[in-house]
Each structure stands twice: as structure tokens, then as C-alpha cells.
Amino acid sequence: MTDASWRQAKRPVSAPLAGPYGHPFHPILVTVPIGAWVTSLVFDIASHLVHRPGFLSQGSQWLIAVGVLGALPAAMAGSLDLFAIPTRTPAFRTALVHMTLNLLVTAAYAVNFLWRHGTYTGGGSVGWGRLALSAVSVALLGVSGFLGGKLAYRYGVRVADESTQAEGYTPAPARRKPAPPPETEGRPTA
């Protein structure tokens, strides 16, 4: 890979849409679906542990919906990041697998929401099939997150280049201590 194509992969395709240099939007946007979907799995499991599980079942269903809706802007920002990566590179192949897994997970959660919505009874715990679908989806989401971390931390996709990063590790110039006040020994003070 040439130096120019490597630097291009670190810069946004469209700054207003993908985020400014060194501050991409995709990583912050993915926190919504990840948080919602992981919490929905916790609610699913908890619905089998409490006496009146209806509120957990319903909460899980709506967390799934929040996750699906939150995945849409995250996917759009991620797509812009993908277009900045040169093709036929390990980073591009990793990004394609990351994207594919995320699309599968989002589709699985959309199906899971519809499955729950069509059979919601209002008081029982989450069915084992729905819980299993959520667990498998969270596991795939974890694999995809690992790949997303590889893209950012190993390949440096949309991360500021090393010379820019080095600015944060350059020691600040030493500050001079202020001179001590003059000695007042033997002199009256006001």
C-alpha cells in the first residue's frame, strides 16, 4: 500500500457525514445498539428469575427496537468509513466481514422484535427461542465488535496518523516555578 492510500484510509470521505479528522462518528453511534441489545439479553435472562416478568419482557422488546433504530445511523457512518479503505487490503476484507456480521445481527434483531411483537401476551417471561436468538445475536455482535476494534486499533482506520497522535505524547515544556516571596525575617508585616 502506498503512503498516500494509507493516509487516505485514515481521513474521512465526507467530513460532515463521517465525522471530522480523528473523530469518526461510527464508534460513538454503535454504542446505542450495542448497549440496547446487550441490556435486552440481560432483561430476557432476568425475566426467568423474577416473580412478575412482564415488565422485563416488554422492556427487552423495546430495547431491541431501540437497537435496530440506532443501528441505522451507525451503519450509514460505518459505510462512509468503509469507502475510505483501499480495496484488496486486509483492512478492507476485515471491514467487509465486520459489516456483514452487523447486518446479520441487525436483521436477526428485527426478526426477534417482530416475533415478540406478534405474540406478546403481557405477563410471561421471554420464550426460550427468542432468548436463544438474542444470545446468538449478542455473540455475533461480540465477534463483529472484535473486528471493529481490529480496524481501529490495529489497522488505524479513521484514526489520526501517527505524527498527529504523537502530539499527545510530546512532553509539555517545563514550567518555571514562580520565585519565592522575599524574606520578611526581622521586618514588620502589615
- The model's pLDDT over 87-146, given as tens digits with 9 standing for 90+, comes to 999 999 999 999 999 999 999 999 999 998 866 556 788 889 999 999 999 999 999 999
How many independent structural domains does the chain possess?
1
Give the C-alpha separation, 42 to 59, whole Å. Answer: 11
| Nearest-10 Cα torsion for 113, 116, 118, 119 | 180
pTM of the model: 0.77
21-56 pLDDT, tens digit per residue, is: 666 889 999 999 999 999 999 999 999 999 999 899
DSSP state of 167: G
The three-point CA angle 174-179-184 to 5° equals 160
Q: Is residue 168, in this structure, part of any structural domain at all?
A: no
The residue segments making up the domain with residue 79 are: 14-161
Angle formed by the axes of helices 31-46 and 128-149, to 10°?
A: 150
Q: Is residue 171, in this structure, part of any structural domain at all?
A: no
